[in-house]
Structure 1
Amino acid sequence: MNDVADIVLGGAGYAGLFRAVDEADAQAGIAAAWDAGIRAFDTAPHYGAGSSEERLGRFLRSQPRSSYSVSTKVGRLLYDDPLASDGIDDFYGAPKRSRRRDYSADGVRRSLEDSLQRLGMDRVDLLLIHDPDDHQDQTLAAAMPELERMRAAGIVAGIGVGVNDVDVALRFVRETTIDHVMIAGRYTLLDRRADTELLPECARRGIRVLVAGVLNSGILADPTRRATFDYRPAQRDIIERAQAMERICAKYDVPLRAAALQFPRRNPAVGATVIGAGIKTEIEDTIAMLNTAVPEDLWHELDRCT
């Protein structure tokens, strides 16, 4: 079995992020992660308008509940909507549902109840506030106290935030009692903004950090054919830096994506890496990249590209 104790399977890929994924391929992808030894899974109502939770739940219901951990998120409620169009927020093949932001205490309770129903579970292990960037004051005043109450009552074991913005994460780290932070795209070979304050602050406070978006939405997988950074076309300087990193990796016969996937694991402040692979071939490739030897000299050369 692979050494994947610090790896979490993210739930956006098999829920149709960027391209539709049918049920059979989604189940095969989750099964491939399970067969590789992955036992931690992150999902959210936002991913595929609930299909991520539903698909994950269908797979996990045949596994002993004590053998895995699941995190999901609050902040978006789902409503049946026959007029919902395909491709909203880059999710394709999703159910006909619309998303509405809600960071109230009632919204947190309803979101968790709905998620548990979609998952077919009686509990999740970790509950994260999803993308509160434009709703920080309401989240701090209403959603956060409700999560703290849930943790105190034993409804969930851990609470935190899942964001792309370092400053937003830092505010919640400093003003609340969260025990987890999921930071996406900000601790990668290309973008190390989380390393300046966020990771050291979390380490001092004993907050577990989960690093997601380590391929920066595609460019670190293939900077020539997938020049997408932060879910939009990458700027020229970003493309050139990624291509320079790819050339350095080629000197050592190491794929760029191997270095990108392993990069967060080198920092002791990082508790886990969330991978975005969604189908079987991607997951198998990700596991192979995580097991690829990366020479220390290569890391030193990549550090000079920042």
Structure 2
Amino acid sequence: MMTTTPKIALGTWAWGDTPDGQVFGNHLTATDLKPVVDDAMAAGLTLWDTAYAYGSGASEDKLGDLLQDYPRDSYQLSTKFTPQMAAGDSDHEVADMLAGSLKRLHTDYIDIYWIHNPADVEKWTPQLIPLLQSGQIKRVGVSNHNLAQIKRANEILGEAGFQVSAVQNHFSLLYRSSEEAGIIDYCREHDITFFAYMVLEQGLLSGRFDVDHPLPAGSMRASVYNEVLPQVSALTAGLQEIGAAQGASAAEVATAYAIAKGTTPIIGVTKAKYIPSEAKAMALTLTPADIKRLEDLAQAANVDTKGSWEAPMA
């Protein structure tokens, strides 16, 4: 079984967008995504992050079908239990949702299984224990949890001889609350992998969008980010300038920043042409001066990118 965590995980949130593309402004088919999987696997990007919540299983369906061409031990799967999507009429809600995910992903185990948010740490965390004991899940993660909730989940699992081995929170140049709250330090001290999602803020920090080239009209990300494009222009210019010295793009520098901060970025990739970009991001070196400059520019942008689903970390 593969146990090494790549420096970058690939996210499939956008793979399960609604048919009208209301979240990301796109509608992806398995045919569209096959080159992404093939090129990623060839590049050694073998950790795939999904969730039942991404299109009510649509993302898992596509990912599971596309990975059937590869031996199960050649990749890792990360998927999630979302409390708000539980049926509410069973004592085994986590196992029930996991069963659906296993079927859609064509596997009999998940490498990292997450509690998607801290709706009820006391209720849901214990339900992970029999799944760990049976081998249906290999590692446990908690997502969108604050430090106290992470510690409590760790206590509950610890009573059965297990531990939280991964945390997945929103982290980017524009949103560093998990660092400010001491979560990243806690993860480092307890051998917990910190996965950073929305590192590029759904494309805002990719360098592909500006006031004259806004995010796709009508999408949810456009409604959130287009109005702040003027505020982040200096930051994206800084990302581009630092990247130019190493032949890298703004997106690659923003990703390299998250790696430099001790996190494992989850990057949503919807086109195969972006796979080489992830390899470049993993190879970039940012100096302390680069990091300080970027953080100063991000602070000056004065943009709050906390998601509507998130509680404050600090």
Same fold flag (TM > 0.5):
yes
Aligned 8 A contact 1:227 1:234 in 2: yes
Q: Counterpart of 1:259?
A: 253
Aligned 8 A contact 1:74 1:130 in 2: yes
SS at match of 1:176: helix
Aligned 8 A contact 2:114 2:140 in 1: yes
Q: Counterpart of 2:179?
A: 195
SS at match of 1:6: coil
AA matched with 1:202? C
Aligned counterparts, 1:54-65, within 5 A: 54-65=61-72
Aligned 8 A contact 1:57 1:118 in 2: yes
- Scaled by the length of structure 1, what TM-score is found? 0.77
Note the alpha carbon deviations across 1:26-79, whole angstroms, 9 max, x for none: 2222222112211111111111221211111112222222221111111268xx
Note the alpha carbon deviations across 1:219-251, whole angstroms, 9 max, x for none: 1113513469x9442386x53452111222344
Instruction: Assess, with a 3 A threshold, how the Cα gap between structure 1 residues 103 and 206 changes in structure 2: closer, same or farther.
Output: farther
Q: Counterpart of 1:80?
A: none
Aligned-pair RMSD on alpha carbons?
2.8
Aligned 8 A contact 1:40 1:68 in 2: yes
Q: Which of 203, 221, 225 is 1:234 aligned to?
A: 225
Is the counterpart of residue 206 in structure 1 residue 191 in structure 2? yes
For 1:22 and 1:154, locate their aligned partners in 2 and report how far apart those are by CA, in whole Å: 32
For 2:255 and 2:91, locate their aligned partners in 1 and report how far apart those are by CA, in whole Å: 36
Q: 5+ residue gaps in structure 1? A: 78-98
For 1:284 and 1:36, locate their aligned partners in 2 and report how far apart those are by CA, in whole Å: 8
Superposition deviation, residue 176 in structure 1: 1.4
For 1:103 and 1:263, locate their aligned partners in 2 and report how far apart those are by CA, in whole Å: 44
Aligned counterparts, 1:66-81, within 5 A: 66-75=73-82
SS at match of 2:78: strand
Instruction: Assess, with a 3 A threshold, how the Cα gap between structure 1 residues 11 and 250 changes in structure 2: closer, same or farther.
Output: closer
Is the counterpart of residue 279 in structure 1 residue 271 in structure 2? yes
Aligned residue-pair number: 268
Aligned counterparts, 1:14-163, within 5 A: 14-16=15-17, 18=24, 19-75=26-82, 105-132=91-118, 135-136=119-120, 140-163=121-144
AA matched with 1:172? Q
Aligned 8 A contact 1:246 1:256 in 2: yes
SS at match of 1:160: strand
